[in-house]
Amino acid sequence: MKLVKGDRVRVLSGKDRGKQGSVTRVLPGEGKVIVDGVNVAKKHQKPTRATMQGGIIDKDMPIPASNVAVLCPKGHPTRVGFEFASDGTKRRVCKKCGAEL
Ligand SMILES: [Zn+2]
């Protein structure tokens, strides 16, 4: 899994195809990610002592990580590559233009 929380991504397939958002959660075990505002499901929430309020709430559901493309800081969708900096640290780079992600 090359995605991390906070990445800007574009959805490639499914009902939210073409949408963009940032990754709010990564589920490596399932190979899925949760993207802000993508694959929203209406949940019927019962009132709880904590919220004191029920009703229908929007909840972002996980989508397969293979259905999203990372967006480069320069704005184009790309794939993630890895590069070692001179000090030995690994960094993530755009495979198209080499910009750091
Ligand atoms: Zn790029």
| Angstrom distances, CA of residue 20 to CA of 34, 37, 57 | 12, 8, 21
| Ligand 1 centre distance from Cα of residue 37 (Å) | 24
| Ligand 1 centre distance from Cα of residue 71 (Å) | 8
Confidence of residue 51 (pLDDT cuts 50, 70, 90): low
> What end-to-end distance do the CA atoms of the chain give, in Å?
15
Model's pTM, two decimal places?
Answer: 0.82
pLDDT tens-digit readout, 64-92: 999 999 999 998 999 999 999 889 898 99
Are 39 and 61 spatial neighbours (Cβ–Cβ below 8 Å)? yes
| Ligand 1 centre distance from Cα of residue 74 (Å) | 6
What distance in Å separates the CA atoms of residue 87 and residue 18, rounded to the nearest whole number? 38
Instruction: Kindly report the average pLDDT of the chain as a whole number.
Output: 91
